Amino acid sequence: MTSIIGNLLHSYNNKTPSQYKLLDSFLLVLCLSAVLEFVYALCIDNTPYNAFLGSFISKVGQFILTVNLRIQSNPSNAHHFTQISPERSFADFVFASLLLHFCAISFLG
């Protein structure tokens, strides 16, 4: 099992272009922040509940949208997306993120 993970990390470091590594580090930060927040809400205090939900879901949503962007801008995936060019995927990313954060902020109350 450890050899598999070692292989994985090695291959990841070599094969991934630096732009994707940037995106991946953003994803990692989002993930850690969400986990921290969830643990805090679980153990210490989760009131006001809507504020917790708003920020947690906005992190999860931003995570997903960044993953979307990563998938869609990868040229090897182009056969899945016949009508979405990488530029279009970036526009989608911006629009969906704006909508997500608009909903999150109006939910904070």
Partner 1 sequence: MAGSAANNTNNTLKSLLKLFTLLAIAGAAISSRLFSVIRHESIIHEFDPWFNFRATKVLVNHGFKHFWNWYDNTSWYPLGRATGGTLYPGLMLTSGLIHNILHSINIPLDIRNICVLLAPAFSALTAYTTYLFTKEVKDARAGLLAAIFIAIVPGYISRSVAGSYDNEAIAIFLLMFTFYLWVKSLRLGSAFWGAITAMSYYYMVSAWGGYAFIINMIPLHAFVLVLMGRYSPRLYISYCSFYTIGTLASMQVPFVGFNPVGTADHMAALGVFGLLQLIAFSTLIRQHLPSKQQFDTLLRSVLVLGFVVGVAAMALASHKGVIAPWTGRFYSLWDTGYAKVHIPIVASVSEHQPTSWPSFFFDLQMLIYLFPAGVFFCFHRLSDSIKGEASVFVIIYAVFGSYFASVMVRLMLTLTPIVCVAAAVALSTLLDNYIQDPDVEGEHQVENKETDHNTQHNVSHNTSQKAFTPKNKKTKKDTSISSTREKVIEKMQEKAGIRAPDARLVVLINVVLMLIFFVFHSTWVTSNAYSSPSVVLASKTPQGETLYIDDFREAYNWLNQTTSEDAVVGSWWDYGYQLAGMAGRTTLVDNNTWNNTHIATVGKIMASPEEVSYDILRKHDVTHLLVVFGGLLGYSGDDINKFLWMVRISEGVWPDEIHERDYFTPRGEFRMDEGAAPAMKNSVLYKMVYHRFAELFGSRPAVDRVRQIQLPKKGPQLESLEEAFTSENWLVRIYQVKQPDFLGRSFKDAIAFEKAARI
Site residues, partner 1 (CB under 8 A):
4, 7-8, 11-12, 15, 49-50, 53-54, 57-58, 60-61, 64-65, 67-68, 71-72, 77, 80-81, 83-84, 88-89, 91-93, 95-96, 99-100, 103-104, 106-107
Query: Which residue's structure tokens are 């805090």?
Result: 40
Sign of CA dihedral 86, 15, 21, 97: positive
Measured distance CA(30)–CA(26) in Å, rounded: 6
**How many whole angstroms separate alpha carbon 64 and alpha carbon 59?**
9
Which of 29/50 has CB closer to partner 1?
50
For 25, the token pair is 């580090």
